[in-house]
Amino acid sequence: MLRTLKKEKMTKPRNIRRRNRFVAMLDVMGTKSLIGQRQDKCIFDLMESIRTIEKEYSTNDYVRMTFYSDSIILYTIDNCEKSYKSILYTSAHIVKFFLKQGFGINGCISYGVCTCDYKDGKYITIGQPFVDAYLLQDDLLCYGVALDEKAVKKIDKEGYNADFCPFLLDSEIRLKIPTKKKGWVEISMINWMEFLTSGEGDLSIQKDEVKKIILELYKRYSNVGKGAYYIQNTEIVLKQWYDFLAERNGFKEYSWGERLSEEYLTKCPYVSGL
């Protein structure tokens, strides 16, 4: 019997692949309140909708996606340029989708050696990049997806951003991003707004759509835990970006203008760090 088992293990090895990959950890925020209100079906419907994005935007099977509660895990099949841009592209669409639904979401993309296995409809993911991505995601005090130092180092080394990359906010400017541990620091962030424009690439139309999303987030989160802090911080990040575009292009209509959060500051005054 023992010999039979040993023979079976030798002839049917598991297809485990250990290699360098880009990985992303995304977390939908505010779901604890919905669970407390017994609105589990709402969360489940949102997560099910994401599967549509997986099929539509994980082009050429460069990106794999799995879920755990209100968290989304992405990883690439390898570390080539197409894999890198695919995980940026997919992450940007996921952020856009949830924010348009009125749910805050943030996350991080990291890079390194990890083991990812898929068998019988189940994913197994192990490796330091997942830990690194989670730690930075948890440290962010705004909505959106950041790239950690390991991912940026790999991208710079390979020259993946040698040409203009519409998926990154810092391709032309380094923005200050709020974190719990270090305050406001320069971090690379993906450009989820790139996919919002309903006009012919008009940034003023895009900005107006982004403002509508921010207002809806205020309605949902202004009185929910620390949600207002994240929205205010997100608006400050967005204001940096659109004000830069207005100055660079010479169009005042691109600028963010007055912050939308002014009427909420008396209810939940902004503080640096939580």
**Which residues are 176's β-sheet partners?**
186
Percent of the chain with pLDDT over 70: 73
Over residues 143-152, the mean pLDDT reads 93
Q: Which residue has the tokens 């906010």?
A: 169
pLDDT band at 7 (very low <50, low <70, confident <90, very high): very low
Report how far residue 207's alpha carbon sits from residue 197's, in angstroms, rounded to the nearest whole number.
Answer: 8
Q: What's the pLDDT score for residue 67? A: 78
In angstroms, what CA-CA distances link 110 with 3, 133, 151, 209, 210? 43, 5, 5, 29, 26
pLDDT digits (tens, 9 = 90+) for 69-85: 778 899 998 999 999 98
Mean pLDDT of the chain: 78
- Report all structural domains of the chain as residue ranges with CATH numbers, in order of start: 14-193 (3.30.70.1230), 195-264 (no CATH)
Over residues 195-214, the mean pLDDT reads 79
Q: Report pTM.
A: 0.82
53 and 90 Cβ atoms separated by less than 8 Å: yes
The per-residue b/e assignment along 2-24, b for 16 or more CB within 10 angstroms, e otherwise, is: eeeeeeeeeeeeeeeeeeebbbb
Q: Is 94 exposed, middle or buried (0-12, 13-18, 19+ CB in 10 A)?
A: buried
